[in-house]
Amino acid sequence: MNARAAIGMLILAPGLIGCTPDGPREFYRAALQAKSEHVDSLSRVVDEKSAGENLKTADKMLNNRLKEGKEGLEKARLDESFGKLRRENFDIKKIDADFRARMIDGLRAYVTYCKNIGYTNVRLRREMQRLRMLANLEMLAKAKAQMASNQPVSVSMAADCPKLSDLLRGLEPTPGNDFRFMPVGIARKDLDKLQSDIDPADLDLAVSFNPQNLNVQMAGVDPPPLPRYPEWAIETDNRAKLGLTGLVR
């Protein structure tokens, strides 16, 4: 190859690399980044107004990004090939070599996603607790005003902080939205037939882990505790017997 041809190849190479279609690794990386950035956005929610702004912008952006990733994963998944692993007479030699490589690559990407999404879920759980505290304070402020006016106490999230209520409801786990790479029902013994050389502990994780589990415990991760409710809120809660602060006296 002469010098001019070599330079031409160098110029073309970045373009050729850029044309490589996205696969599970890219989709999972994008989903993890989208969820992490959304948790960051929740830290800016401090009242009803900012909750409404989050719903209009960050929440909508998250849903669009996750939808794109989920659609990409749906096209990349090989459910039929994974289903063959469940057969008693399965023969690894009869599975397409390219499909097998893609199954293994997707499994590795999913395991990496599971290992990392747990940290995001810990942060999300803490933000949800903080948002519920904000909603409780909104209701307690209304209850305090009602008692000061000798009115019956009547408060609810839907009526008194609808934006916070909608935001919290949208953060709850949604069935079927766990970004699982392999179909439900595939067992560890089935994955062993793939002869993937993936660490056994990682295969166990792929089978058992729920990416939407917000109560997962992550070693070394201890989010800061929420602040104590102010005294006026605790006093109002006790007088109205609402049970919002968890500090009944």
Q: What is the pLDDT, as a whole number, of residue 246?
A: 84
User: What percentage of the chain carries pLDDT values higher than 70?
Assistant: 90
Q: What is the pLDDT, as a whole number, of residue 101?
A: 94
Alpha helix positions (H), the chain: 3-18, 24-42, 48-56, 58-76, 79-84, 97-148, 157-160, 162-171, 188-192, 200-208, 231-240
pLDDT in tens, 157-185: 999 999 999 999 999 988 777 788 988 88
* Integer Cα distance of 189 and 176 in angstroms: 23
Quick one: 227 exposed, middle or buried, by C-beta within 10 A (0-12, 13-18, 19+)?
exposed
Alpha helix positions (H), 77-187: 79-84, 97-148, 157-160, 162-171
Task: Give the mean pLDDT of the chain.
Answer: 88
Q: How many CA atoms lie within 13 A of 74 on its CB side?
A: 9
- Give 8's pLDDT tier (boundaries 50, 70, 90): very low
Q: What is the pLDDT, as a whole number, of residue 114?
A: 93
pLDDT in tens, 199-239: 999 999 999 999 988 888 877 778 889 999 999 999 999 99
pLDDT in tens, 129-139: 999 999 999 99
Q: What is the pLDDT, as a whole number, of residue 3?
A: 42
User: What percentage of the chain carries pLDDT values higher than 90?
Assistant: 69
Widest Cα–Cα separation across the chain? 93
